[in-house]
Amino acid sequence: MAMSRTRLGVPGRSRQIGLQVAGAGLLAATGGIHLDLYLTGYRSIPTIGWLFLLQVIAAFALALAVLVSGSRLAAAAGAGFALSTLGGYLLSVWIGLFGFKEVRTTAGIVAGVIEVAAFAVLAILALTPPASPAPGHPPARATLLARLQDGIPGAGWAVGGLSVIALVLLGVAAAGAGAPAPARAGGGLKAVQIGGVSVLANARGFTLYSFAPDTPAKSVCNGSCAAYWPPVKGPVTAGPGVTGRLGTIKRSDGSTQATYDGHPLYTYVADSAPGQAHGNNLNLNGGLWHEVPTAG
């Protein structure tokens, strides 16, 4: 009899622990992806950079809380956090946030799927009543939250339905998002003054950059790198103050990229207005980025 009593409630407890570990792991995974994105480009984007850093801190803090405490309150907070993070991504893809419009990347899609999974697991954990006490022990006094949970019929179906809707919205957003463009139209280049230095800009006045690992004949910024540092489409023409040598190279995707004095040219997605140079002297995506001086 004693042995049978010790086994009562074990399946329920094991299920709860499994949900704790899975939920904490998923939160940590999305935190890790956002940390990588923060370190490789997002940290230099005004407002968005700080939001990414807060997202990383919150993800790891909630993961620890869920793993250590197993509290349904922590699980509910984690589920809400995962869903709100996904919502922020969808908004940045559809209409943009704080002047920044997201492009479609593998990291963004993977993070979105993980966030949906984290919401589903943590919501189920939050809606799971505590394991029933063994026979002979008085039941714990029910809390208001427990009564509310017990009174919600079909809570599991609701979580499943919301998860499916979230996945559909993620798919629609990914399908409709702009893919990383292989190049941005260069047109006429011109000289602009930034910090007392004459630097190269495109026809709209946006600062142009060079990537240290490039060679005069080859760009090594492809894939997700090109999503955040769009190459300038060539050929281009020289405007006032532009005295360097203009040229073009063929990129790996077959498009033509403009060069200046042997440097393949790029813009930076974090520059939201002419005259900005948020990408200058950044060490991202495998190398240093510099604004391109018009001379020397």
| Domain chopping of the chain, boundaries | 2-176, 184-291
| 36-85 pLDDT per residue, tens | 888 876 777 778 888 899 999 999 999 999 999 888 899 999 999 999 99
| Phi and psi angles of residue 189, each rounded to the nearest 5 degrees, phi first | -90, 150
Give SS3 for 44.
helix
| 162-217 pLDDT per residue, tens | 888 888 888 887 776 554 444 455 568 999 999 889 999 998 899 999 999 999 99
Give helix 10-39 / helix 72-94 axis angle, nearest 10°: 40
Residue position matching structure tokens 């697991």:
121
223: tokens are: 């894939």
